[in-house]
Amino acid sequence: MTSAINLSKLTAPDVVEPLDYETILGEMLADLRKRLPSFSSTVESDPAYKILEVAAYRELLLRQRVNEAARSVMLAFSSKHDLDQLAALFNVERREGESDVSLRMRLPLSLEGLSTAGPRGAYHYHALSASSDVKDVSVVSPKPGEVAVTVLSHHGRGEASPSVLSTVSQALNAEEVRPLTDKVTVRGANVIAYKVVATLICFADPDRNVVTKAARQAAEEYVADTHQLGRAVTRSGLIAALHQPGVMNVKLTSPATDITTASHEAAWCTEITLAVSDG
């Protein structure tokens, strides 16, 4: 574990306000009636009403732009070139081909990377920064003075190539990164393959194709999210993902049990097979 804040668990910022066109229009109508008591029209065809509709819509767009501007300077929401500007504050540059998600994860870790005492977070940051092919990293110390770093790749099943492992090893063994007393070993992840096989028991009315598509998409998102080092793939998680609107029940055949992984392991789904039956 590192001391970096989990951005996804932060409370929603107060500066980003909820917007509703009808509320804005209602406030404008009330303000107009207060300023002009003789105005009592509630007919949408009235010219004054139309003008307020235009004004309310324009205000909605303006306030939405303010919301977007506020989000653009927050690490949890910033993206693309706005995120690059935030990264510059950390003295971090986007790697070639690096996604917003990856860069956003590296930025808080970069502060731990300033340490030369060899904390777990520093090794984590420098390993992630070594190559754009690095998807996830785990750092453990099997015994005092020894550091084992496991690398999960973005490509294929997640097995890092020898060249990527060499690049990470060189980065972590650099004089300005590795403490003199540490012996650092870099290894590839042990990938555990599994299949998802399930039967969706549906209600009579829903379109089976629509239901199956939604269930497959949710399952794909779940297995992609759990393709991380040390992340478990649970039957309850898969069933929850497959239980989309229109599904009455889910019979999950595979995996037969939860898939637990150690810090040097990652679960990889090779196939998702879904059948459909009536309830």
Residue at a domain's end among 188, 204, 228: 188
| Structural domain includes residue 78 | no
Q: Are residues 47 and 100 in the same domain?
A: no
Task: Give a yes or no: residue 1 inside a domain.
Answer: no
Predicted confidence band of residue 269 (pLDDT cuts 50, 70, 90): very high
Domain that holds residue 206: 191-278
Here the CATH number for the domain that contains residue 159 is 3.30.300
Domain membership of residue 79 (yes or no) is no
Integer Cα distance of 127 and 135 in angstroms: 10
Q: Are residues 54 and 92 in the same domain?
A: no
DSSP 37: T
Per-residue pLDDT tens over the stretch 16-34: 999 999 999 999 989 988 8
Higher pLDDT, 182 or 263: 263
Tell me whether residue 202 is in a domain: yes
Among 51, 72, 93, the domain boundary falls at: 72
* Domain-embedded: residue 151: yes
174 and 106, same structural domain? Answer: yes
pLDDT digits (tens, 9 = 90+) for 165-177: 999 999 998 877 8
Domain boundary among 38, 72, 106: 72
Do 182 and 201 lie in one domain? The reply is no
Q: What is the number of structural domains in the chain?
A: 3
Q: Residue 2 domain-assigned? A: no
Q: Under 8 Å CB-to-CB from 194, ≥6 apart: which residues? A: 233, 254, 255, 259, 267, 268, 269, 270
Residues 90 and 176 occupy one common structural domain: yes
240 within domain boundaries:
yes
Considering the domain architecture, whether residues 176 and 199 belong to the same structural domain is answered as: no
Q: What is the pTM of this model?
A: 0.66
pLDDT value at residue 48 = 83
Tell me the H-state helices in the chain: 21-35, 47-72, 80-89, 100-112, 120-130, 162-172, 208-225, 235-242
Separation of CA 22 from chain center: 32
My answer on whether 113 and 59 are in the same domain is no
The residue count of the chain comes to 279
